[in-house]
């Protein structure tokens, strides 16, 4: 019977593992940034995510060429741009070359009667023509007269300048030796955008590689010339590589550490191998559970595998003690189950997090812990020899006991530290939280700085304020942009905003283009009206033949389409502001506030309200900075609330199991002290807390509760010998946790290092404080 039961247990276990392996084999592992981009709960935030997913932002690669001299850099820039254009990988490569500039000028000049916002029937009446031409003549004598003069004969009504005026304020990079250069002139800059979408990380990685290799093969390169790159896709590729590289390294390092530690303590390869079984089973079940729940597993979730190594190894350590006959089995398992329950209560808040990465971590940890505990309870007994000979640790046990007895007298210390910590936390009031979502991004500070520099070099527009709406097709999207544009022009007039960008500036809707064509009078009428308009003006009609023939050509020509923009920099404008989504179009119209440095540069309600009148679908005005700050605040509050709930559940569990308020207090006090102390240490060390630090604190409670429980229960019921055994194993368990999380804390990925540092520090504090406070009465008992 007993033997049969053993076989059933082992069979079930192996079947479970096999099932997990099968699920994992089919699992898609991802390591992009998405897991720590919050699921966007509001329509506005969804826009931001879509802009990245479908828009041009995810496809832009900013390139800088450094080293050598300015002329050399400009030459490399031209050569690189030419070669990259030929690869077909990029939709466009811009570097301020004169050919593109010429194409831009041509596009605006040739199409001025379809593009200029002034083209209405009134513009071509006698009065309209007279006013416009007089205006141009006056401008001829002004400081920009030379520019006006060049255009005057064919564009006496000043359309080209009028439509270029719309772009005023958007800065362009400076041009040095015929190519874009940084403000300080020390770097040539280019802009490439890929054909593949930003979400195709593989294609983005190939594009980046192509740029790097093409640059390497450029002829006549000076020895110190080099290429640097930045952009959302570069970040995505970089973080994927970092995550892939680090997760494997961190997991192996902490596994190795645990193995060494266990070998050192037990000196038995068999015990080591068996001791790791709960961990490995837990990890497999955890990954499989995440895969089933989310359809994919994020690389970072694997990075958190150490959370399991840290805690599940403890179970087998405790189990060996029990098997060696030194702990009362019934009592032992009660404590273990209570520990598992409090840990689950600690991890459970993560399940409800809006960050998919954290939710994955919650599922992974809970299912993994349950699996590890069950394997420890039912599978290990079937495998571990009945008579377990443990290495004699009694000398260490006695020594530790003496140390802890002394420590018990320091009961005032944790409380004092906690009070001091509360003081530190109060001193940091207002600067506790890092409100910047980018604090979670795995991109190094140096890379972020380079990104900012290249952005400034390229004069990339400040996209803090934007109007956004969606439309079922391209034409309706452009018509919407024109409708919104009219409202926005009114707001410029009323000085609410300084300006805006619109895809319709360079590509008006077909309807508007046709309306403009219809506004142009026929040849005879045009000549007649012009003749009358010129009365009293110092220009003879004979000089303006070019104007008249251009008008007629514009009247009957084919309207402009996106393809007409190919090769101009205006193409980039349209592609970045008119975004083709899965089933519709998203239109973005960046706004320019009057004073960017003002505390409130723009009251978005003053834009939102008049725009509602356009009745465009989902039209919203977004303040990106405000939006991301709010996002962070929401998630932080969400996690705070959930953590508080988790703590309440833990206290309720303890109260129910221990059936004593004073015993519960003895378990909870060291946890509270360690959480406050860790927070104070982090703040004092100059760290600003992110959501991930909060998660770390939650783990401190989840893991630390086990220590406190064991100390507390040891103090209540165990014999001195049992207690000494238990103390040694607690220290070993703690060292594995501190070690494995400490390794995680070394990661350069902020998400991992935040949790790693917090937990390793917190676990150490929790053990110390639990030893001092929870062990409590034992020190006073006679031995």
Which residues are at the interface with another protein (CB under 8 A)? Answer: 137-146, 149, 152-153, 165, 168-169, 174-175, 498-499, 538-540, 543
Nearer Cβ to another protein, position 377 or 489?
A: 489
Q: How far is the CB of 179 from another protein (least distance, A)?
A: 13
What b/e string do you get for 171-210 counting C-beta neighbours within 10 Å, with b at 16 or more?
eebeebbbbbbbeeeebbbbbbbbebbbbbbebbbebbeb
Q: How far is the CB of 539 from another protein (least distance, A)?
A: 6
CA 90 vs. chain centroid, Å, equals 25
Q: How far is the CB of 498 from another protein (least distance, A)?
A: 8
CA separation for the pair 41, 77 (Å, rounded): 43
Return the H-helix or E-strand segment holding 61.
Answer: strand 60-66
Q: How far is the CB of 174 from another protein (least distance, A)?
A: 4
Nearer Cβ to another protein, position 106 or 543?
A: 543
Nearer Cβ to another protein, position 152 or 215?
A: 152
Q: How far is the CB of 131 from another protein (least distance, A)?
A: 13
Q: How far is the CB of 145 from another protein (least distance, A)?
A: 7
What is the three-state SS of 253-306?
A: HHHHHHHHHHHHHHCCHHHHHHHHHHHHHHHHHHHHHHHHHHCEEEHHHHHCHH
Q: Are 766 and 707 in contact (CB under 8 A)?
A: yes
Nearer Cβ to another protein, position 152 or 320?
A: 152
Nearer Cβ to another protein, position 167 or 433?
A: 167
The contacts of residue 420 (CB under 8 Å, 6+ apart) are 680
Q: How far is the CB of 594 from another protein (least distance, A)?
A: 11
What is the three-state SS of 631-694?
A: HHHHHHHHHHHHHHHHHHHHHHHHHHHHCCHHHHHHHHHHHHHHHHHHHHHHHHCCCCECHHHH
Nearer Cβ to another protein, position 145 or 385?
A: 145
Nearer Cβ to another protein, position 10 or 539?
A: 539
Q: How far is the CB of 588 from another protein (least distance, A)?
A: 22
Opening angle at CA 222, ends 220 and 226, nearest 5 = 110
**CB count, 10 Å around CB of 617?**
14
Q: How far is the CB of 97 from another protein (least distance, A)?
A: 16
Residue 583 phi/psi, 5-degree rounding, is: -125, 0
What is the three-state SS of 336-384?
A: HHHHHHHHHHHHHHHHCCCCHHHHHHHHHHHHHHHHHHHHHHHHHHHHC
Q: Are 60 and 451 in contact (CB under 8 A)?
A: no
Q: How far is the CB of 139 from another protein (least distance, A)?
A: 7
Q: How far is the CB of 137 from another protein (least distance, A)?
A: 7
Q: How far is the CB of 146 from another protein (least distance, A)?
A: 7
Q: How far is the CB of 169 from another protein (least distance, A)?
A: 6
HSE-up of residue 297 (Cα within 13 Å, Cβ side)? 29
Burial of 322 (0-12, 13-18, 19+ CB in 10 A): buried
Nearer Cβ to another protein, position 49 or 153?
A: 153
Q: How far is the CB of 527 from another protein (least distance, A)?
A: 18
What b/e string do you get for 632-668 counting C-beta neighbours within 10 Å, with b at 16 or more?
beebbebbeebbeebbebbbebbbebbeeeebbbbbb
**CB count, 10 Å around CB of 131?**
14
Nearer Cβ to another protein, position 139 or 548?
A: 139
> In terms of DSSP H, where are the helices of 494-561?
510-519, 523-533, 545-556
* Interhelix angle 691-717/624-658, nearest 10 degrees: 10
Q: Helix or strand or coil: residue 587?
A: strand
**CB count, 10 Å around CB of 395?**
10
Nearer Cβ to another protein, position 169 or 472?
A: 169
Nearer Cβ to another protein, position 174 or 562?
A: 174
Nearer Cβ to another protein, position 26 or 540?
A: 540
Nearer Cβ to another protein, position 183 or 562?
A: 183
Nearer Cβ to another protein, position 164 or 586?
A: 164
CA separation for the pair 385, 389 (Å, rounded): 9
Nearer Cβ to another protein, position 141 or 605?
A: 141
CA separation for the pair 616, 611 (Å, rounded): 8
Q: How far is the CB of 138 from another protein (least distance, A)?
A: 4
Q: How far is the CB of 543 from another protein (least distance, A)?
A: 5
Q: Are 588 and 51 in contact (CB under 8 A)?
A: yes
The contacts of residue 160 (CB under 8 Å, 6+ apart) are 108, 109, 112, 116, 151
Q: Which of 773, 774, 768, 778 is nearest to 700 (CA)?
A: 768
Q: How far is the CB of 210 from another protein (least distance, A)?
A: 31
| Pairing relationship of beta strands 296-298 and 28-30 according to DSSP bridges | parallel
CA separation for the pair 729, 287 (Å, rounded): 28
Nearer Cβ to another protein, position 452 or 545?
A: 545
Q: Are 245 and 449 in contact (CB under 8 A)?
A: no
What b/e string do you get for 99-113 counting C-beta neighbours within 10 Å, with b at 16 or more?
ebeebbeebbbbbbb
Q: How far is the CB of 530 from another protein (least distance, A)?
A: 14
At 309, list the tokens: 């190594």
| Pairing relationship of beta strands 578-580 and 28-30 according to DSSP bridges | unpaired
Nearer Cβ to another protein, position 386 or 597?
A: 597
CA separation for the pair 268, 163 (Å, rounded): 81
Nearer Cβ to another protein, position 499 or 590?
A: 499
């Amino acid at each position: 019977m007993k033997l049969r039961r053993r076989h059933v247990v082992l069979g079930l276990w192996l079947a479970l593992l096999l099932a997990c392996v099968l699920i994992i084999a089919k699992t898609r592992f991802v390591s992009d940034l998405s897991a720590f981009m919050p699921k966007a709960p509001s329509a506005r935030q969804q826009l931001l995510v879509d802009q990245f997913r479908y828009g041009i932002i995810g496809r832009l690669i900013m390139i800088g060429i450094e080293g050598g001299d300015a002329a050399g850099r400009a030459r490399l820039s031209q050569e690189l741009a030419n070669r990259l254009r030929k690869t077909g990988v990029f939709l466009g490569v811009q570097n301020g070359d004169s050919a593109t500039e010429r194409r831009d000028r041509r596009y605006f000049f040739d199409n001025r009667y379809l593009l200029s916002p002034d083209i209405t029937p009134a513009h071509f009446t006698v009065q309209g023509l007279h006013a416009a031409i007089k205006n141009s003549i006056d401008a001829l004598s002004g400081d920009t007269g030379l520019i006006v003069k060049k255009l005057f004969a064919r564009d006496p009504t000043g359309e080209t300048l009028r439509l270029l005026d719309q772009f005023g304020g958007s800065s362009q990079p400076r041009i040095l030796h015929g190519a874009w250069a940084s403000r300080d002139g020390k770097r040539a800059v280019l802009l490439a955008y890929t054909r593949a979408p930003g979400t195709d990380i593989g294609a983005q990685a190939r594009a980046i590689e192509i740029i790097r290799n093409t640059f390497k093969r450029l002829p006549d390169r000076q020895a110190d010339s080099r290429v640097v790159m930045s952009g959302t896709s570069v970040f995505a590729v970089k973080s994927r590589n970092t995550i892939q590289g680090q997760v494997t390294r961190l997991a192996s390092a902490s596994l190795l550490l645990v193995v060494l530690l266990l070998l050192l303590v037990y000196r038995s390869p068999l015990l080591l191998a068996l001791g790791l079984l709960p961990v490995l089973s837990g990890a497999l079940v955890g990954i499989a559970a995440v895969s089933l729940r989310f359809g994919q597993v994020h690389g970072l979730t694997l990075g958190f595998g150490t959370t399991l190594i840290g805690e599940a190894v403890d179970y087998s350590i405790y189990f060996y003690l029990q098997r060696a006959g030194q702990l009362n089995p019934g009592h032992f398992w009660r404590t273990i189950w209570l520990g598992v329950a409090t840990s689950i209560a600690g991890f459970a808040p993560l399940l409800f997090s809006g960050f998919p990465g954290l939710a994955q971590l919650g599922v992974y940890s809970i299912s993994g812990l349950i699996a590890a505990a069950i394997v420890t309870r039912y599978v290990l007994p079937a495998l571990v020899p009945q008579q377990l000979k443990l290495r004699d640790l009694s000398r260490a046990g006695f020594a530790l006991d003496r140390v802890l007895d002394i420590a018990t007298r320091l009961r005032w210390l944790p409380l004092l530290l906690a009070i001091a910590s509360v003081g530190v936390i109060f001193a940091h009031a207002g600067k506790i939280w890092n409100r910047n979502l980018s604090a979670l991004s795995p991109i190094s500070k140096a890379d972020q700085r380079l990104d900012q520099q290249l952005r400034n070099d390229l004069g990339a527009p400040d996209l803090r304020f934007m109007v956004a709406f969606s439309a079922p097709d391209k034409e309706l999207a452009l018509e919407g942009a024109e409708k919104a544009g009219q409202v926005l022009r009114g707001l410029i007039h009323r000085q609410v905003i300084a300006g805006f960008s619109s895809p319709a500036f360079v590509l008006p809707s077909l309807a508007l283009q046709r309306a403009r064509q219809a506004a142009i009078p026929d040849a005879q009428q045009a000549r007649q009206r012009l003749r009358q308009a010129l009365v009293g003006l110092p220009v003879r009609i004979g000089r303006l033949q070019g104007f008249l023939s251009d008008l007629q050509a514009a009247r009957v020509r084919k309207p402009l389409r996106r393809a007409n923009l190919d090769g101009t920099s205006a193409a980039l404008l349209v592609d970045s502001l008119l975004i083709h989504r899965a089933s519709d179009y998203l239109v973005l119209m960046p706004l320019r506030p009057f004073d960017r440095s003002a505390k409130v540069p723009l009251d978005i309600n003053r834009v939102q309200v008049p725009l509602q009148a356009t009745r465009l679908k989902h039209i919203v005005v977004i303040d990106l900075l405000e939006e991301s700050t709010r996002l962070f605040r929401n998630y932080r509050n969400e996690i705070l609330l959930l953590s508080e709930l988790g703590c309440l559940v833990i206290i309720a569990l303890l109260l129910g199991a221990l059936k004593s308020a004073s015993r519960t207090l003895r378990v909870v006090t060291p946890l509270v002290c360690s959480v406050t102390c860790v927070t104070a240490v982090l703040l004092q060390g100059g760290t600003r807390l992110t959501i991930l630090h909060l998660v770390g604190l939650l783990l401190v409670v989840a893991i630390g509760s086990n220590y406190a429980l064991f100390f507390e229960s040891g103090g209540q019921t165990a014999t001195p010998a049992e207690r000494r055994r238990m103390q040694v194993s607690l220290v070993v368990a703690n060292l594995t946790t501190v070690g494995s999380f400490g390794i995680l804390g070394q990661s350069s990925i902020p998400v991992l290092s935040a949790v790693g540092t917090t937990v390793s520090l917190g676990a150490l504090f929790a053990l110390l404080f639990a030893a001092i406070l929870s062990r409590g009465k034992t020190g006073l008992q006679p031995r």
